Amino acid sequence: MVYQPMLELLDYLRANQYKTFIVSGGGIDFIRVWAEQAYGIPPYQVVGSSVKVKYDTTGTQPVFIKLAELNFFDDKLGKPVGIHEHIGKRPVFTAGNTDGDYGMLQYTSTGNGPRFGMIVHHTDSLREYAYDRKSRLAKLDKGLDDADKYHWVIVDMKNDWKKVYPFDN
């Protein structure tokens, strides 16, 4: 999903000398294909889940072969690990939208110096879809409970976003 406010935020951060990354539970190889065109984020600034790969030179051209074995799951407590291993630096700003982002938000917010954590609360069932505490796929429960504790800003999609998608009128 590509949201207009997300694009505006990424542009703003980059215009103010921040390096932007995608840290997703989704497959890293899948996201890397379209992240630069959709978000302006190059493939090497994408952190995601991956399967193990081997480099095979038996054919005429060397190739990578994906194995049926999980290499890394970039969700929940895996997100801070992925950030540490791939980026090597604690973020100063993190935005998430489910409890799968809780560890990343917590990791960001508990660092030294100025930090900012933001939760996008999907409350707009008419323009997008709504989910939070009782959702099966994309649950946002613990993040809502602990937002005050960590000083996370909650953005309400229905009330705070004038436009959801770039192609909306």
pLDDT in tens, 47-62: 999 999 999 999 999 9
Q: How many residues can be counted in the chain?
A: 169
C-alpha span between 102 and 147 (Å, rounded): 10
Strands 46-56 and 22-27: parallel
C-alpha span between 69 and 49 (Å, rounded): 12
Instruction: Tell me the mean pLDDT in the region 40-46.
Output: 98
Whether pLDDT at 17 is above 80? yes
